[in-house]
């Protein structure tokens, strides 16, 4: 969903249907790895960037997904910055709201 939203909003962000699934899988794996690595580095060496660790890991995951498989193409600096923020925000919102939806469904 985050990739589709970024592709719809940002002129410098292009999503190819053929590589979409590959891009999402690569992004998800890279995001998982980068979150742990960046989080540990931030806590250990630069505590001031701990709050930005998830944004940094999102950027790194986009960078990896963009260079692997051809599913995405991010061309401009502004598109890189805004794609990072959009994907991070959608991912954070999903992480916050999906467990609540599951609990409501389970209670019914």
Task: Give the pLDDT confidence of 3-21 residue by residue, as tens digits.
Answer: 889 989 999 998 888 788 8
State the pLDDT at residue 50: 65
- Whether 78 shows a pLDDT value over 90: the answer reads yes
pLDDT digits (tens, 9 = 90+) for 53-65: 888 889 999 998 8
- Tell me the domain boundaries of the chain: 2-107
3-state percent helix, strand, coil for the chain, nearest multiple of 5: 80, 5, 15
State the pLDDT at residue 80: 94
**Quick one: average pLDDT of 16-37?**
84
Mean pLDDT computed over every residue of the chain: 83
State the pLDDT at residue 47: 67
**Quick one: average pLDDT of 84-108?**
79
- Whether 81 shows a pLDDT value over 90: the answer reads yes
Contact (CB, 8 A) for 60 and 38: yes
Distance of alpha carbon 33 from the chain centroid: 12
Residue 9 backbone dihedrals phi, psi, to 5 degrees: -90, -40
State the pLDDT at residue 107: 66
- Whether 77 shows a pLDDT value over 90: the answer reads yes
Give the C-alpha separation, 58 to 108, whole Å. 35
Which SS3 state, helix, strand or coil, does residue 23 take?
helix
What is the 8-class DSSP label of residue 71?
S
């Amino acid at each position: 969903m985050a990739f589709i939203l970024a592709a719809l909003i940002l002129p410098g962000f292009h999503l190819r249907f053929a590589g979409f699934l590959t891009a999402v899988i690569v992004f998800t794996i890279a995001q998982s790895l980068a979150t742990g690595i960046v989080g540990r580095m931030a806590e250990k060496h630069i505590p001031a960037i701990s709050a930005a660790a998830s944004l940094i890991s999102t950027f790194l995951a986009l960078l990896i997904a963009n260079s692997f498989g051809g599913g995405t193409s991010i061309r401009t600096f502004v598109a890189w910055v805004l794609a990072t923020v959009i994907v991070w925000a959608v991912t954070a919102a999903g992480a916050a709201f999906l467990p609540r939806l599951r609990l409501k469904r389970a209670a019914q």
